[in-house]
Structure 1
Amino acid sequence: MPPHPSLETIRPPRFIGGLRELADDYDVILCDVWGVVHNGVIQYEKATDALRRFREKGGSVVLITNAPRPRWRVVAMLDRLKVSHDTYDGAVSSGDVTVSLIRERGDLPLAYIGPQGDMEIFSEAETQLGHKLKFVGIEQAAYVVCVGLEAAERETPADYETRLRLLRRHDAEFICANPDIVVEHGDRLVYCAGALAEAYEALGGRVVQAGKPHAEIYRRALALAASARGAATDSSRVLAIGDSAHTDIKGAQAQGLATLFVTSGIHRAELHEEAGNGPLNAAAFHQFVENLGFKPTAVATELAW
């Protein structure tokens, strides 16, 4: 007999005009950052206002992001975008999880793929380990840590095929510090580390994902929420908000959490009329959800109160 379908599979998503329609049902929000709170250039003031109002009602907000850098760097970026600290209780990043994965591998030689300005996770790992990491070339590495593409605004995964094949030749492990495939930067989409991880898996390579949709980052976020509240929260009272169906929504639902899907993020061009600048296209949305094979609990075009 097939397993009984979950309620999320049976119930159609609830379309809402604002977070206020759901706020009384939840004590904790786990909110994605890039694509929901900001787009890398500006903060979304409606979103930060909604999170602030939720906290004013007694709720707790933990930002949960696939940013491949330590949480302090995430907070520093939020500060630059003038996101007030009264918007959230804390943050957890895939960079934090990546540091733990590096520590677990001790003295194994590693290689790095990503921008030179995004190497704080290694400094953090070295501080926690108490010694320097052993960086080597792709040909000698036991594993590689990928933070992203070196020049994401002009590169694609095809530019990395030679390096990925060299890694695969000696079965090096690939740690993906950001499982997102693409992310918004202003009004553009750029490739992330997840796109290279996907390409490496296609070659038969071993990949370890550090962030959403995988369980560890949710465990850390819920622990942070419990610390902020002084007690753990029943999972039925936790709402996860995100704009990526494959990381934010799928990942949270795998942890038994309710979800709010924001359609104007990375899926905007697929789901909204006028090349992403118009209203939600209902037919496109329903086809999109059918193709996913799972449904969010609720849907909003943007995060607002």
Structure 2
Amino acid sequence: MTPIISALSEVSDRYDAVFCDLWGCLHDGVRALPEAVEALQGFKARGGTVVLLTNAPRPRVYVERQIERLGVPRDCWDTIATSGDSARTGMFQGDVGQKVWFVGEETDRVFFDPLKLVHDPVAVERVDLSEAEGIVCCGPRDPLSPPDVMREELEDAKARGLKLLCANPDVIVDRGDSREWCAGAVAAYYEELGGTALYYGKPHAPVYDLARQRMAEAGREPEGARVLAIGDGIATDIAGAEGQGIDSLFITGGLAAAETKTSDQPDADALGRYLAEAPHTPTYALGKLR
């Protein structure tokens, strides 16, 4: 049985660094969560390194600006690794060709900003679907609409053998009290139609490689570091931690709040039932990051 702990501080002395998810852990899409901020500040005060590891489909500079607007203070984290930067690396390496059909909101077009991580990048060009060699998906055009509204276009893309680069493997996210669809939902639907999707964010390895690179840039040697992954997604945060061989702290009051009957802390029996049906097992569980 996964133990339910009272706070991050209960286990933090076992770790040198945390890979902390953002949405559902540090903020709710509308505002920063004060107890989570204090928990990360406390971890840093004890000498730990905080890497904000997010499936946001954007460059880290835009994520930094976003969390600042939400009230996340700079002194609770050291560096940021985004699924967007990991996926952008793949795009500029030519993983889906030079001419790409873009799927996402207008605000996601920063995905095509220049990236210093890639030497001699491919000159990527956004084109209509009829001309495309591949697809770049940062999310649905309308996050409130299910991905099957794109069925006709995606079936056409699948028939032409186009690969879909998924900038954010998350399927859903909660913005305050509203649940929205993410790029992972579009990618999963494309696979259901028989298409091929490429993933770079959690739980897949490329974004963890980037997180360790960011750790090194922040002054913490990643080799041999004791790392704890914190997140509210069983299929992303917890699965990714298992794949990387690192411990994990499952925040039950996020995406699985209803299933685990979490108000302040999860109901032990409900958590047990939820995890019994889940393919991944976290090291610890906690209702809210604090």
What are the within-5 Å matches in structure 2 for residues 1-305 of structure 1?
Answer: 12-105=1-94, 108-125=98-115, 133-153=124-144, 155-235=145-225, 237-272=226-261, 280-304=266-290
What is the Cα deviation at residue 171 of structure 1? Answer: 0.7
Q: 1:246 to 1:126 in 2, by over 3 A?
A: same
Aligned length: 288
Q: 1:248 to 1:16 in 2, by over 3 A?
A: same
Q: 1:259 to 1:278 in 2, by over 3 A?
A: closer
SS of the counterpart of 1:14?
Answer: coil
In structure 2, the partner of 1:8 is: none
SS of the counterpart of 2:239?
Answer: helix
Letter aligned with residue 213 of structure 2: A
What is the Cα deviation at residue 173 of structure 1? Answer: 0.4
Query: What CA distance in whole angstroms lies between the structure 1 residues aligned with 2:82 and 2:188?
Result: 20
SS of the counterpart of 2:194?
Answer: coil
SS of the counterpart of 1:118?
Answer: helix
What is the Cα deviation at residue 138 of structure 1? Answer: 1.6
Query: What CA distance in whole angstroms lies between the structure 1 residues aligned with 2:281 and 2:122?
Result: 46
Residue identity (%): 35
Query: What CA distance in whole angstroms lies between the structure 2 residues aligned with 1:288 and 1:300?
Result: 14
Structure 2 residues without counterparts, runs of 5 or longer: none
Query: What CA distance in whole angstroms lies between the structure 1 residues aligned with 2:264 and 2:17?
Result: 31
CA RMSD, 1 decimal: 1.9
What is the Cα deviation at residue 255 of structure 1? Answer: 0.3
**Kept after mapping to 2: 8 A contact 1:126/1:132:** no
* TM-score normalised according to structure 1 size: 0.89
What is the Cα deviation at residue 40 of structure 1? Answer: 0.9
What is the Cα deviation at residue 130 of structure 1? Answer: 7.3
Runs of 4+ in 1 over 6 A off after TM superposition: none
Letter aligned with residue 286 of structure 1: G
What is the Cα deviation at residue 170 of structure 1? Answer: 0.3
**Kept after mapping to 2: 8 A contact 1:226/1:233:** no
What is the Cα deviation at residue 282 of structure 1? Answer: 2.7
What is the Cα deviation at residue 66 of structure 1? Answer: 0.2
SS of the counterpart of 1:269?
Answer: coil
Letter aligned with residue 3 of structure 2: R
What is the Cα deviation at residue 259 of structure 1? Answer: 0.1
Query: What CA distance in whole angstroms lies between the structure 2 residues aligned with 1:278 and 1:131?
Result: 48
Query: What CA distance in whole angstroms lies between the structure 1 residues aligned with 2:67 and 2:264?
Result: 28
Query: What CA distance in whole angstroms lies between the structure 2 residues aligned with 1:297 and 1:190?
Result: 28
In structure 2, the partner of 1:7 is: none
Letter aligned with residue 150 of structure 1: R
